[in-house]
Structure formats: C-alpha cells, structure tokens
Structure 1
Amino acid sequence: MTIRYPRPLRPGDTIGVTAPSAGVATPLHRRLLHAADVVRAKGYDVRLGETPTGEGIVSAPADVRAAELTTMLTDPAVRAVVPPWGGELATDLLGRLDWDALAADPTWLVGYSDVSTVQLPLTLRTGVATLHGQNLMDTPYDVPAGLLGWWEVASAAQEGEELVQRSPRRYRSSGWDDYENEPQVSTWTLDAAGSWLRLDGEDPAAPVDVQGRVIGGCLETVSLLAGTPYGDVARFAAEHAPEGLVVYLDILEWDAFAVGRALWAMRHAGWFDAANAVLVSRTHAPDGDGFTQHDAVRDALGDLGIPLLADVECGHVPPYLALVNGALARVQHGPEESAITQRLVP
C-alpha cells in the first residue's frame, strides 16, 4: 500500500470549519470569525458548520459531530477541513466514522491537539495523509521565518516537492493571547531562545541526519489509542513505511511520570519498533519529583539506539511546524541549524 495525498489547494477552493471536539465559547466568537476572514483573504471560500460555536466540553453530541465532520470530509467541494482547535473527547467519534468513505476522495484534515485523535487513525487505517499544523484559531498569526503555514503546505503539495522548515530557535515562554479583547492579534510573542536537544546519550553536538515516514500526534490522546485498531503504528509501518518512521509527539499537560508511563505503553504496543528517530515537543507541562520531562523520554526510549530530539516545534508551545502524517521526511540537526524536509511521495 502507498500513501495517498489530498490534491493541492487551489484558489477558490472551500475550506470547511467543524469542531470534532470542543467548540468556541461566545466571548471568543470574534476570533473565530476573524480567523475565517483571514482564510478568505488567502483566496479560499469558508464553510462554517454548526458545531464550531457549540458550548461545553464538546461542541455537540458525538453523532452530530461525526456527521458534520463526515459531511465536510466527503463533500467534493471541500478541499480542507480545519477545526477551530482541539479539546478533550474527540475519541468518542472513532467508532462512529466510516473510514473508507473518508478516504475515498481524500481531503486535507488540518490541526493539532485533540484533532490528532482523528487525524492519526485516518492516516494509520487508510494511508491518507493528514496535516498536523496550526488550528483555525492560530491561522491569523504571521508564520515565523523558516516555518510554513498549513495553507502553504496544503497548496504547495505537488507530488515529490520538497517542503523545508527550519527551527526559528525561538519560542513563547508562557501564556496565551487574549482573544476576547484582542481578536485580531497576529504576531506571536517569541520571547525565549531555545534549540532542539539530543536526549539519546550521544554527544549533544553530534549531527543527526535520518529519514522516515512522519507519524504522530498529541501524546495525551494518541497514546491511549496504542494497542487499539485506531493506533496500530506497527501495522502502518509494515504496510506503508519500508523506509522506517519519524515519530513525533506533542506533550501538552501530563507530568513527567504520566509521560513516562505513556511512552512505555506505546513502546510495548510497537510504536517505536520501526522508528529511525523520535521528536518530542517543547512543553510547559510539569516535571515530577526529581524526574523531568526529558528524563521520561530517556527512561522509556533512551536505549532504542536512535536519535531522540526534544524541544521540537511540534506541540502546544508556539510556534508550530506543519507536519504531514505519511510524508517522507529527512530530519537534520546540529549546533547551527535544525530542519525537517518533507516530500509528499507515495
């Protein structure tokens, strides 16, 4: 089997906005509408569903969310679906989705956080590429030099084209912008310096240069799919990735002990058997008592004999890489530069 990519976005295409997990509370609707206007300004039509303005832990009952997501992903006029953001309980959709129908005419499913709870199974089960990048509410931000916006990746995604991103080596040290009072904020506050770090026991300055198929998502959600039909990474690697894998993980809020347990569970389920490298996000999540987030990665994965890179821009700490699940990637890291080059090849 080979990886299948949705066709590139073209001017005038429709972008669907649905909320498979959490909706946007009323005080933040101005940000939601502004983000939709920003997408329109990029040359696309926007179809705003009923769920994005839903209140509560989830935007609507599971059947309603599943139906709206399915409608948008299977409508030939909709060429990308970009939820406003993640949430907590997208996992309740997994048994309600017709995966073959979603894969029949592939559409870009874009986002991160709890959106990856649906993205990962879509790629693992069907071989259809998905795009782990900014959510809709992040779209108004200027993309830092060296990175790509989701719309740039989805519109430039010609087969075989190289999509190169380089770490800006700056990040946001804390907090979030006030969307209620500043709904049009468009500049990230990247007030701290920091580069990727090697955690695999090799010389920290030793260069990394590896390749593999990209796969991953938000640790707090996708780790719970390990060992289920929706998180069979080992099967995906056997069917789609003879080159091996580049596994990336976004750590949101679990403390270091929980992260360590999750990584061990994923390891037991075969997530890293075909990995050529593991990328772990920069995180503001807490350490444990004498046990750091980096210790958790070293404890669970340190003896795999592959590069382990931490503080990568693949998590909830801005800014964000745009990573295509299923793409063939080359990861390079050294004292002067850290980069990932993705090619959208079958």
Structure 2
Amino acid sequence: MITIPPYLQKGDTIGLLAPAGFMPFEKIHTCIDVLGDWGYSVALGETVHSHSDTYFSSTDEERCADLQRMLDDDHIKAILCVRGGYGVSRIIDKLSFKNFKKSPKWIIGYSDITVLHAHLYRKHKIASLHAPMAAAFNDEGFMSPYVASLRSALTGETSSFRCEPLQLNRTGEAEGNLVGGNLTLLAHLVGTASDLPTKNKILFIEDVGEYLYNIDRMLLQLKRSGKLKKLAGLVVGGFTDVKDTERPFGATAYEIIQDAVKEYDFPVCYNFPVSHTNENYALKNGLPHKLVVDEAGVRLSEIVEK
C-alpha cells in the first residue's frame, strides 16, 4: 500500500527551500506570488536566502537541517524544492523520516529531487510529486498547462495526460505504480538504500545535457541491474541538450533507449511531456497509473482505487 499525503486546502502552507543547487532569490519571487494567488501561505527555508559562493545553496549541514525542519513541521503541508542541480545525495542518509511518516506531506520537484522521490518510495512507500519547480513559474510560465497540472495535483484532481504518437513507440497497455525521474540519478542510486524498485512498475525517465555514450552507459547500468527486465511499461520523456563526441556515437538518445529495451515486450512511448524544459507535467510518483500506447497516441492516467 502506498501512503498518499493529504491534498492541500486553501490557507495551507507550502514550504520553499533549496536542498541542492544555489538559486538566486529574485528567480523565486514569481513562484511565491503565484502560490499566494492560489490561496496558499508560503514558508521560506533558510536555503532560499543563501548567499553561497559555491555550487550548492549552502553547506551540506545547513541544507540537511533546512529540509529536516520542514519535514518535521506539521504546519507545512507540502515542500516545493525551488531547484535541483546536485546535492541531495550528499544529505539523504542524514535525514530522519520518523516524524514525516506519521504526518506525510507532498515533496515537489524533479532533476536531483529524483533522489527524494526514489527514497520515499523505496524506504517508506510514500507518494510524491515529480513536478515543475520555481523557475517554471517565471516569464508567464505560471499560465502554462504544466504549472497548472501542479496546481491540480496539489488539490487532488485525478491526472490524465496525452501526447502524440511517434513511430518509435511500442504499442500496448500497462498498469502499475508510476515511478522514475532523471535517468542519471536513477542509475546513480542503483545499489544504494534509495535504489528504486521497478518490477511491475511503469517507469518514466528523462535527462538533460548528457553525452550520448553516457546515456547508453546509464541504460546498460539499469539493464544489467535488472531494472528494465520486468517493467510494466516505459515512458520516455525529453532528452534535451544532448551532446556528442568528436567521433559520433552513431545513434540518437531515443534510438539508444529503443535498443536497450528491444528484447522486452512492454509498451514504450517517447517524447512524453516530462523533461527539463517547460514541458513538464506533474506526475504523482508512486501511485497506480494506466498507460495506453496505440496508433492514436499515448494516454497516461492515474488509477483511483475505490
């Protein structure tokens, strides 16, 4: 059984913090204002006011303490990570989820926040939101259907998303708990306490800025560790800003993925709107979903258990 944190009500408090990379405070203003317009109060963690001169928003100890305070604060009903980057892996084993398990709340974010999503599912069977972060609200992004999907998810609306068919897709239907996130982090977590279980799951993956050979290497890591063999289905999101070596690798990111799963028979869709771009729907990580891939397109729908 998966624990679903309570959905939010008007007046509830959302905590904002930066558990990994640094983000200038001026890039968070719009997110704060829009959350207020949605009817929520906002509590700011110390890491969003950071004046760090390093890659991280602050030291490991300060980032860990900031997140721990919000995990334990019963007045905070959701935690929105303002950005990812890198850094959650450095603090995940220092966090205590003892109080959080008694009073769970929605953890929101993507990219490096994949570590939190995987850890919550693997260790505690608690659902979370792989969803837009603070930068997605900027430049009128708060009016996009992708940020709107975050608002809908927080209030408990049942999600259902569609995308156009691609020739690469492998048709079929699947049901299972939806899990996943950033490919780099999923490969990085193999063999750790946060290692994501994938058997009979619908796995979603995305990435940004990786070399093609590294995408191939990470998929081989997942394959050799058994993460792809017994999937119910695979949802491939955006692989953006990919790089190649001087001597070309010889395949696109999607062709690399297609080759990695060619021996299996589960449905696979490509170019699903989950990515490091603004096209990034809010997905309820850990909850049951149905995936339909056919000639008409792709449908990924949350299953509400009665």
TM-score exceeds 0.5: yes
The one-letter code matched in structure 2 to 1:154 is L
Partner in structure 2 of residue 275 of structure 1 = 231
Partner in structure 1 of residue 45 of structure 2 = 49
Partner in structure 2 of residue 315 of structure 1 = 275
Contact 1:220 1:252 in 2 (8 A): no
Q: Does 1:286 align with 2:286?
A: no
Q: Does 1:219 align with 2:183?
A: yes
CA-CA distance at 1:232 after TM superposition: 3.9
Partner in structure 2 of residue 197 of structure 1 = 166
The one-letter code matched in structure 1 to 2:99 is A
The one-letter code matched in structure 1 to 2:301 is T
CA-CA distance at 1:197 after TM superposition: 3.0
CA-CA distance at 1:143 after TM superposition: 5.1
**RMSD between aligned alpha carbons?**
2.1
**SS at 1:317's partner residue?**
coil
Q: Does 1:302 align with 2:250?
A: no
In structure 2, relative to structure 1, the CA distance for the partners of 1:198 and 1:344 (3 Å cut) is farther
CA-CA distance at 1:106 after TM superposition: 0.8
**SS at 1:115's partner residue?**
helix
Contact 1:15 1:47 in 2 (8 A): yes
The one-letter code matched in structure 1 to 2:86 is E
Distance across 2 between alignment mates of 1:165 and 1:93? 33
In structure 2, relative to structure 1, the CA distance for the partners of 1:68 and 1:46 (3 Å cut) is same
**SS at 1:80's partner residue?**
strand
Distance across 1 between alignment mates of 2:144 and 2:28? 21
The one-letter code matched in structure 2 to 1:31 is K
Distance across 2 between alignment mates of 1:37 and 1:115? 23
CA-CA distance at 1:8 after TM superposition: 0.7
**SS at 2:271's partner residue?**
strand
The one-letter code matched in structure 1 to 2:12 is D
In structure 2, relative to structure 1, the CA distance for the partners of 1:97 and 1:38 (3 Å cut) is same
In structure 2, relative to structure 1, the CA distance for the partners of 1:232 and 1:210 (3 Å cut) is closer
Contact 2:146 2:282 in 1 (8 A): no
Q: Spell out, residue by residue over 1:79-118, the C-alpha distance to the aligned partner (whole angstroms, 9 max, x if none).
A: 1100111112221012111234332211100011111122
Partner in structure 2 of residue 60 of structure 1 = 58
In structure 2, relative to structure 1, the CA distance for the partners of 1:345 and 1:270 (3 Å cut) is farther
The one-letter code matched in structure 2 to 1:8 is Y
CA-CA distance at 1:144 after TM superposition: 4.3
Partner in structure 1 of residue 74 of structure 2 = 76
Contact 1:3 1:128 in 2 (8 A): yes
Same amino acid, percent of matched pairs: 22
Contact 1:6 1:107 in 2 (8 A): yes
For these two proteins, the number of residue pairs brought into alignment is 298
Superposition map of 1:247-286 within 5 A = 247-284=203-240, 285-286=242-243
Distance across 1 between alignment mates of 2:305 and 2:98? 21
CA-CA distance at 1:138 after TM superposition: 1.3
**SS at 1:34's partner residue?**
helix
Provide TM-score, normalisation by structure 2.
Answer: 0.90
Distance across 1 between alignment mates of 2:192 and 2:183? 15
Distance across 2 between alignment mates of 1:166 and 1:311? 11
Provide TM-score, normalisation by structure 1.
Answer: 0.80
Q: Does 1:163 align with 2:159?
A: yes
Contact 2:237 2:272 in 1 (8 A): yes
Distance across 2 between alignment mates of 1:222 and 1:109? 17
Distance across 2 between alignment mates of 1:307 and 1:199? 11
Distance across 2 between alignment mates of 1:77 and 1:198? 48
Q: Does 1:342 align with 2:302?
A: yes
